[in-house]
């Protein structure tokens, strides 16, 4: 049995998903590539020997030839396309963010609950990254006692030209918000945001430094630096009562040359999280085949929480004060 998948959106992540589904996973038929640009859809379809290239996402979602949908189109399309897929009864793997506002996330939650079945897996792929998996396992086995603090660094080489000051919080940081919620297994109650005043903070991709407090009073600090220049670098160290666990990146070689030892950095997130993306997509296909959502993957509730923290973070940045996060009560549907 093969799950017939349609991919909507063929930008940087859409292209990567196409490669993973077409080349790396069993039990999947990547059947249709859809993009608003007919040329782009055809080009990507041809790269992977796929016959169907389309431009109308809603038509593709409704098609009887399609069992499930991957949404990798621009952020503002995520909610309407996800809602269309839920209404059509098609499972969705949606790139983050689930929506551009927490209010919109609630419309997805409502629709899913109305159907009475979890339909959405969200692309917070770090939950499948072997380093985060090992961190969570060590924590659960009690190796560092109770977790008390989580230090997170997230550095990109260069911010894209369309990045605004707030996008460090609304676009990059949600990965950290989700990873912290996943590792610590609790919600975030407040966020404070700082920027180094020695730099021009109106510059696109200026660094931000955040401090989050969880329900039980644990602290999470997050540096987002979208113009770090030297490489894609994500680090995390979880500090417990009797030890700490630091993430390691999958670096296979250390170069020794000209009196120096060095390790290479990736230019962006795809090589760093290649295995995480593969395992995430594999888990999604598995969940469709078994009709059981992945217990690890993030769902609509997680998408809502990450967006809510980001909204509070944007507010904290402009007000310069600690901002409390007000969530709706978690529906038992998502427990």
Q: Residue 55 or 195: which CB sits closer to ligand ISE?
A: 195
Residues that bind ligand ISE (CB under 6 A): 156, 171-172, 175, 226, 269
Spatial separation of the C-alpha atoms in residues 51 and 39, rounded to whole Å: 14
- Tell me, what DSSP letter sits at residue 332? G
Smallest separation (angstroms) from ligand ISE to the CB of 35 = 18
Q: Residue 91 or 97: which CB sits closer to ligand ISE?
A: 97
Smallest separation (angstroms) from ligand ISE to the CB of 4 = 27
Q: Residue with the closest Cβ to ligand ISE? A: 172
CA atoms within 13 A of residue 328's CA, in its CB half-sphere: 15
Spatial separation of the C-alpha atoms in residues 2 and 27, rounded to whole Å: 4
Q: Residue 240 or 271: which CB sits closer to ligand ISE?
A: 271
Q: Residue 121 or 226: which CB sits closer to ligand ISE?
A: 226
Measured in degrees and rounded to the nearest 5, phi and psi for residue 289 equal: -65, -35
Q: Give the number of other Cβ atoms within 10 Å of residue 260's Cβ.
A: 7
Strands 92-94 and 120-122: parallel
Smallest separation (angstroms) from ligand ISE to the CB of 64 = 33
Smallest separation (angstroms) from ligand ISE to the CB of 116 = 31
CB 111 within 8 A of CB 134: no
Q: Residue 156 or 300: which CB sits closer to ligand ISE?
A: 156
Smallest separation (angstroms) from ligand ISE to the CB of 188 = 19
Spatial separation of the C-alpha atoms in residues 46 and 41, rounded to whole Å: 9
Q: Residue 73 or 156: which CB sits closer to ligand ISE?
A: 156
- CA 7 vs CA 19, 31, 46, 122, 308: distances in Å: 11, 8, 14, 14, 27
Smallest separation (angstroms) from ligand ISE to the CB of 191 = 18
Q: Residue 171 or 323: which CB sits closer to ligand ISE?
A: 171
Q: Residue 188 or 306: which CB sits closer to ligand ISE?
A: 306
Give the closest residue to 152 by CA, choosing from 219, 242, 105: 219
Spatial separation of the C-alpha atoms in residues 69 and 32, rounded to whole Å: 10
Smallest separation (angstroms) from ligand ISE to the CB of 115 = 28
Residue 34, phi-psi category: left (phi > 0), alpha (psi -120 to 50), beta (remainder): beta
Residue 57: partners with Cβ closer than 8 Å, 6 or more residues away: 8, 34, 73, 77, 81, 84
Helix axes 12-19, 274-290, angle to 10 degrees: 60
Smallest separation (angstroms) from ligand ISE to the CB of 122 = 12
Length reported for the chain: 335
């Amino acid at each position: 049995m093969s799950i017939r998948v349609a991919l909507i959106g063929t930008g940087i992540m859409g292209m990567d998903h196409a490669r993973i589904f077409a080349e790396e996973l069993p039990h999947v038929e990547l059947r249709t590539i859809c993009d608003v640009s007919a040329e782009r859809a055809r080009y990507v379809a041809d790269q992977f020997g796929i016959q169907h290239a389309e431009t109308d996402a809603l038509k593709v979602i409704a098609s009887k030839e399609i069992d499930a949908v991957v949404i990798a189109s621009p952020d503002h399309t995520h909610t309407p396309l996800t809602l269309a897929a839920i209404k059509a009864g098609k499972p969705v793997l949606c790139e983050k963010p689930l929506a551009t506002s927490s209010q919109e996330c609630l419309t997805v939650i409502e629709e899913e609950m109305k159907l009475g079945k979890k339909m959405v897996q969200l692309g917070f792929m770090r939950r499948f990254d072997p380093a985060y998996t090992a961190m969570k396992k060590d924590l659960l086995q009690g190796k560092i006692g109770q977790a008390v603090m989580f230090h997170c660094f997230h550095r990109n080489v260069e911010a894209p030209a369309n990045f605004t000051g707030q996008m460090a919080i609304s676009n990059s940081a949600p990965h950290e918000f989700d990873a912290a919620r996943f590792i610590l297994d609790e919600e975030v109650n407040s966020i404070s945001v700082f920027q180094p005043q020695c730099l021009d903070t109106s510059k696109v991709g200026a660094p931000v430094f955040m401090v989050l407090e969880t329900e039980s009073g644990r602290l999470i600090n997050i540096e987002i630096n979208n113009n770090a220049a030297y490489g894609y670098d994500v680090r995390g160290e979880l500090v417990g009562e009797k030890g700490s666990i630091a993430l390691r990146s999958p670096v296979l070689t250390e170069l020794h040359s000209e009196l120096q030892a060095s390790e290479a950095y990736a230019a962006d997130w795809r090589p760093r999280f290649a295995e995480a993306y593969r395992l995430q997509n594999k888990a999604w296909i598995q969940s469709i085949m078994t009709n059981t959502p992945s217990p690890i993957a993030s769902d609509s509730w997680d998408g809502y929480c990450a967006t809510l923290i980001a909204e509070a973070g944007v507010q904290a940045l402009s007000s310069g004060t600690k901002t409390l996060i007000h969530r709706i009560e978690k529906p038992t549907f998502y427990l």
